[in-house]
Amino acid sequence: MTPDRESTDRAQSAVVGVAVLLAITVVGIGALTAAAGAVVEEGAAAAATARVADGVDDALDAGTVGETETTVRLSDGTLRTADRTVRVLNGSGVVRSVSAGAVVYESGGRRVSAVAGAVTTDPIGRSGGSSMSAPPSVAAANGTLYVGVPALNASGTDAVSARGAALPVTLRTAPTHERRVLPADRYRVAVETTAPDAWERGFRQRGATTSRRDFDGDGVPSVVAAFPGERTVHLVVHDLRLRMEVGA
């Protein structure tokens, strides 16, 4: 394979990753909206990324208030779901635990993960070097902590791999929403992630202090963000009921 072909394939893989992550992380509920349009790998063509984003935007025009269906063509790499948990804690321990899940796209030694409304990129097999291109749906203001959690609740195919040939992957969602208000207390939010550096920076930018903890002993740490003062928590869980299938 020539260097030009290799560069083109990396760009195509990156664009597919963007399309997939856009398709499952955009939440159209007021301020709890995950950012979109991330370039996930060096060499991705911005124009091609924009075209894919436009197509996905059409599929998500109704946000998460109705069923959506998006088909992307995976030309390289692996797309899979993974177990991830988001926890809300106070001084007594865990007060709310959400099985959020994650969609993970791996190609060329890089991993892109969509979990808890955020999109991160990190090198496979090496610590550090992670970045966040779409921020989490967590915000603190005026004595309130807003936490939005897209929960995949995935079914269908657990993993899809492609090497060269274009493989269509269809993503279907049929979302429902649960809103819960937790009384004023000193809260922490813990997100299980393979990109803890990026999550720590993201939480600190929102005024939190951070620590790490492996709650279930599976080797994947959670970044625990503590927000100052007592706050009322508005927790919104978006159950996407994602179904991933091979084929158009």
pLDDT the model gives residue 92: 95
Residue type, 64: T
State the DSSP H helix or E strand holding residue 7, giving kind and residue range, or none if neither: helix 3-25
pTM, 2 dp: 0.76
Q: What is the chain's mean pLDDT, rounded?
A: 73
The pLDDT assigned to 149 comes to: 87
Strands (E), 83-128: 85-90, 93-99, 102-107, 110-115, 118-123
Select from 231, 161, 222, 148 the least CA-distant residue to 192. Answer: 222
Q: What pLDDT does residue 184 have?
A: 96
Could you give the 3-state DSSP secondary structure of residue 92?
coil
Would you say 235 and 96 are in contact if contact means Cβ atoms under 8 Å apart? yes
Q: Identify which of 229, 50, 235, 210 has the alpha carbon closest to the alpha carbon of residue 146.
A: 235
pLDDT digits (tens, 9 = 90+) for 45-66: 233 333 333 333 343 333 344 6
